[in-house]
Amino acid sequence: MAKITLNNVRKTYAGTVETIKGVSLDIADGELLVLVGPSGCGKSTLLRMIAGLESITSGEISIGDRVVNTLEPSERDIAMVFQNYALYPHMTVYQNLAYGLKNRNTPADVIEARIKKAATTLEIEQYLERKPRQLSGGQRQRVAMGRAIVREPSAFLFDEPLSNLDAKLRVQMRVEIKRLQRALATTSVYVTHDQMEAMTLADRLVVLNGGHIEQVGTPIELYEKPATTFVATFIGSPSMNLLDRARGGFDLSGVPEAATIGIRPEDLKVVSDGQVAGYALRADVTVGAVELVGAESYVYGKLSSGQDIAFRVSGRSQIETGAQMTVAAHSHDIHLFDAGGARLAGH
């Protein structure tokens, strides 16, 4: 068990611009921290620097009480789980699980006990004598996790471990990883570009954008109080509507000055003309497209000014393209941002 600390960590790959632009983070002992952000924002680079697979250009990384900047990966007492499982195809599951421990000269009885325990936890006892090719994707993923678990490291690092799995299995494994991490209470850093995976797994989330941290917080904090328009549109689906106040096409009452008005699609209510009293925002929408996703539908339309707006309605609503509707939002559901995209204080 260990906390992990990053202090103003920077990375510039040879011959390129700075990739990680000064990241500071305190990851608590036993915490599951998720690094989320779009492709290319530096998630893998940051994780690989913690693992020791990539050098640190400047700054300091500590695992437990040790500064690990110059330590080899094998000296850092961490285990990494990748998206390509990297199992040895010619070895059985048991041999795959034993391999790393044997290399570290772990006594045979300890190896056996740890594999037994991990196999039970992961429910792969009946596959120990199989080769990886005789396993399904989900089972292989479990073995890959088993290999990390048997080492009993002080931290787990995950780099998009589920992105090769189909949608259903991904949800199952995500629940599984959460359960395992809780049970083992091992400090974990989990990288994903998938905001849904991030929201459901994380104790805390770090939203990374272009090599810097946009915001750190619990999933609900980021959902309710996004610090920037980037976080506001990255977390939540469909994305938060960002309306340019200068372009207009909507009516406001009692809303402070702000360059950009944010409203989540789920916070917009369809109202009839007589019902608009008491709302802080009101807008007429021409419906462009309706997407039925089951229990609900997403409606995409335009304001009179041409600005895009999306909102959610019950899946049973019969809304046609071209329909004219009025939507409204309460003041407590309105997010305000300045021209630079920062959330306005006190709101």
Ligand X SMILES: Nc1ncnc2c1ncn2[C@@H]1O[C@H](COP(=O)(O)OP(=O)(O)O)[C@@H](O)[C@H]1O
Which residues of this protein are in contact with ligand X, per CB under 6 A?
A: 13, 16, 19, 37, 39-45
CB of 43 to Mg ion, least distance (A): 5
Residue type, position 4, single letter: I
C-beta of residue 302 within 8 angstroms of C-beta of residue 309: yes
The total of other beta-carbon atoms located within 10 Å of residue 87's CB is 21
Cα–Cα distance measured from residue 70 to residue 181, given in angstroms and rounded to the nearest whole number: 28
The total of other beta-carbon atoms located within 10 Å of residue 318's CB is 8
Cα–Cα distance measured from residue 304 to residue 250, given in angstroms and rounded to the nearest whole number: 8
Closer by beta carbon to ligand X, 12 or else 233: 12
> DSSP states of 6-28 as a string?
EEEEEEE-TTS-EEEEEEEEEEP
CB of 110 to ligand X, least distance (A): 35
- Residue from 287, 243, 241, 246 nearest 264 by CA: 241
CB of 61 to ligand X, least distance (A): 15
CB of 226 to ligand X, least distance (A): 20
Closer by beta carbon to ligand X, 54 or else 333: 54
Q: Residue 42 binds what, of ligand X, Mg ion, none (CB under 5 to 8 Å, by partner type)?
A: ligand X
204-209/32-36 β-pairing: parallel
Closer by beta carbon to ligand X, 11 or else 343: 11
CB of 280 to ligand X, least distance (A): 37
Taking CB under 5 A as the binding criterion, the range among 6-14, 19-27, 36-44, 108-116 that sits at the site for Mg ion is 36-44
Instruction: Show the binding pattern over residues 40-69: x = contacts Mg ion (CB under 5 A), - = does not.
Output: ----x-------------------------
Q: Write out the residues near Mg ion by the rule CB under 5 A.
A: 44
